[in-house]
Amino acid sequence: MNVLSLNNVTKRFGGLTAVDNVSFHIEQGEIFGLIGPNGAGKTTIFNLITAIYSITEGEIYFNDKKLQRKKPYEIANMGVTRTFQNIRLFKKLTAYENVLTACHKSADYNIFSSIMRIGKFKLQERYLKNKTDGLLKLMGLWDYKDIVASNLPYGLQRKLEIARALALDPKLLLLDEPAAGMNPEETIQLMELIKEIRNKFDLTVLIIEHHMDLIMGVCDRIFVLNFGIPLALGTPKEIQENKKVIEAYLGKEEKTYAED
């Protein structure tokens, strides 16, 4: 079953076509990579899926529901959550508070019960605490739970963003450069963590990343964009061997005078 479908999607900013007639379909449970050189249109695709930008042409479907004319919070409520290339945390709140505030979306209590701290409210409070604890432990953030987000190392802030996105109970998780700023060892750990998260929460994952080791190690399939134009779609092995992809990343070899 397709969880996400992009059908002939185009996005223009004035005279610039950032995404040009892009189509791809992601199946339930897949970890799907979106790669391409700088400025290829990857983040623009995330912004189109999450309704931060409006689509110029084409359609996007999430679980067979058309996503047009929705607000970003409606998309999140449908089960599509994301992280950002430029980390967006509550910088002055602790790691714990950052996750707890996101968990509150799933709370269901009224002001009266919260003032009286009775029955259902207490149960909800315990549920939110357990959920927050579990997410912090899963992401390896438990020892940092009382540290203010802005004081965490960059790599841990990225993990905290993932924990926040998971707190919203997604079905589709969009990760925008989750390994940026991480060293090779941290990147390998993150790769394993992404697989664990996918299995544990029965997720589908769409991931933008420049670390090729991570993309090749974690993705089931990869879609390549170049200047907004689709270049290739395939398994990591197929993408690694694709001449057009190699040229887009490394440039085309010039024929020397001697070869003519």
**Residues forming the site for ligand ATP (CB under 6 A):** 13, 16, 18, 36, 38-44, 85
Nearer to ligand ATP, 122 or 210 (CB): 210
Q: Is 251 left (phi over 0), alpha (psi -120 to 50) or beta?
A: left
Q: Hey, what's the torsion of the CAs at 240, 22, 65, 1, to 10 degrees? A: -30
Residues 83 and 93: their CA atoms lie apart, in Å, by: 18
CB 205 within 8 A of CB 30: yes
Nearer to ligand ATP, 88 or 200 (CB): 88
Report the half-sphere exposure of 101 (CA within 13 A, side-chain side).
Answer: 11
Q: Shortest Cβ distance from residue 68 to ligand ATP (Å)?
A: 18
Nearer to ligand ATP, 8 or 106 (CB): 8
Q: Shortest Cβ distance from residue 19 to ligand ATP (Å)?
A: 7
Q: Shortest Cβ distance from residue 94 to ligand ATP (Å)?
A: 29
Q: Shortest Cβ distance from residue 102 to ligand ATP (Å)?
A: 24
Identity (one letter) of the amino acid at 247?
A: E
The three-class DSSP label of residue 52 is coil
Residues 55 and 230: their CA atoms lie apart, in Å, by: 17
Q: Which among 79, 120, 126 is positioned nearest to 100, based on CA atoms?
A: 126
Nearer to ligand ATP, 197 or 248 (CB): 248
Residues 67 and 50: their CA atoms lie apart, in Å, by: 8
Nearer to ligand ATP, 12 or 237 (CB): 12
- The enclosing H or E element of 57 equals strand 57-62
The three-class DSSP label of residue 152 is coil
Q: Shortest Cβ distance from residue 36 to ligand ATP (Å)?
A: 5
Nearer to ligand ATP, 39 or 234 (CB): 39
